[in-house]
Homo-oligomer: A and B are copies of this chain.
């Protein structure tokens, strides 16, 4: 499989940060993949605590850690000079460095040199693999459920991770498939779909969920939104390449316009369902919507219950907030 691959287990680097909201990647990894996170390392005494053991580079190497993962973002997305000494130490100890920051690890000569010396890798998760193919449309074995959104940033990644968790709890054979940088760091593999050259979009999406067992479900992280003025083509390429059997519409309660594109009304959930089926049917005629996942964090408990039950009646579909309800109702409908 030509995707980015991160070697486990991990040591999570949280820089000099003291506020956990700036370490979303690190906390996401500790939350969703605790079994792969051996420890954390900070540049300061009272740094962020992800609930993992503090480790030096040497301790991590001795504990079998394979990757030093940048779990925080610097202001501006760069790689501060203050990070470089410890990065070099990690590389010298044979640990790969994995990062999703804007600045490429592979563009920093000191790191490139250190990596060359030890044979460790610099893994930029924003950089798609080379030699991606054009999409074939060939039907693959196994089953797929794709997250689609009424907009960006409505909980598509969270919903997919929650579904994978809830499916595994039932003993179902399933994998979260990551199409964005944070998802890739959590999953340990994937392709940053939005960074792929247009001609290879659906081809890249096909690689994300390869042939599998007949009862296996790929739970695929969505990107963008099929009605988005900036990113709809990303969503379309992912939809066509994923050839999903099922999809979940993700939405944020109370959002009326496309965030950052305020002249554009948010599409209705019905519109998103209709267009997703219309386009997806070409590569999978059996495609169907199996539920709606709503971020209801802006609603009170009463409002939330009312909102979800009204929506569920209107659409005749299970509608849940995965943070509060889990995703069992949607999985029941697969």
* A229–B199 touching, CB < 8 Å: no
Instruction: Give the residue among A202, A236, A261, A282 with the most B Cβ atoms within 10 A.
Output: A236
If A197-B196, A197-B198 touch, whether A229 touches B283 (CB-CB below 8 Å) is: yes
In the complex, A195 Cα to B138 Cα: how many Å? 23
Cβ–Cβ contact A233 & B237, under 8 A: yes
Task: Verify B234–A233 contact, CB threshold 8 A.
Answer: yes
The contact string, 1 if C-beta is below 8 Å from chain B, for chain A 58-72, is 000000000000000
Q: Which of B136, B198, B261 contacts A198 (CB 8 A)?
A: B198
Assess whether A278 is interfacial by the CB under 8 Å rule.
yes
> Which residues of B lie under 8 Å from residue A240 when comparing CB positions?
229, 232-233
Q: Is the CB of B201 within 8 A of A229?
A: no
* A201 surroundings in chain B (CB, below 8 A): 198, 233-234
A137 touches B197 (CB 8 A): no
Could you say which interface size class chain A belongs to?
20 to 34
Which residues of B lie under 8 Å from residue A255 when comparing CB positions? none
Q: How far is the CB of A196 from chain B (nearest CB, A)?
A: 5
Q: In the bound complex, do residue A234 and residue B264 qualify as a contact, i.e. CB atoms below 8 Å apart?
A: no
**CB within 8 A of A137: which of B138, B237, B264?**
B264
- Answer whether residue A135 sits at the interface, using C-beta atoms and an 8 A cutoff: yes
A327 to chain B, nearest CB (A): 28
Give 1 or 0 for each of A218-251: 1 = CB within 8 Å of chain B CB: 0000000001011111101100100000000000
Chain B nearest CB from A204 CB (Å) reads 9
Cross-chain contact A232 with B227 (CB below 8 angstroms) = no
Q: In the assembled complex, which residues on chain B have CB atoms less than 8 Å from the CB atom of A135? A: 229-231
Q: Whole-angstrom distance from the CB of A64 to the nearest CB of chain B?
A: 37
A282 touches B197 (CB 8 A): no
Q: Given A227-B282, A275-B278, check contact A233 B198 (CB 8 Å).
A: yes
Is A96 engaged at the interface, CB distance under 8 Å to the other chain? no
Separation of A19 and B234 alpha carbons in the complex (Å): 40
Asked whether any CB of chain B lies closer than 8 Å to the CB of A81, the reply is no
A117 smallest CB distance to B (angstroms): 27
Q: Mark A135-148, 1 if CB is under 8 A from B, else 0.
A: 11110000000000
Extra contacts, 20 of them, besides A233-B234, A233-B237, A264-B282 (Cβ < 8 A), are A134-B231, A135-B229, A135-B231, A136-B261, A137-B229, A137-B261, A137-B263, A195-B198, A196-B198, A197-B197, A197-B198, A198-B233, A202-B230, A202-B232, A202-B233, A229-B283, A232-B237, A233-B233, A275-B279, A278-B278
Q: Could you give 26 example pairs across A and B, Cβ below 8 Å?
A: A134-B230, A135-B231, A136-B229, A137-B263, A195-B197, A195-B198, A196-B198, A197-B197, A197-B198, A198-B198, A198-B201, A199-B230, A201-B233, A201-B234, A202-B229, A202-B233, A229-B240, A229-B282, A232-B237, A232-B279, A233-B233, A233-B236, A233-B240, A236-B236, A275-B279, A278-B278
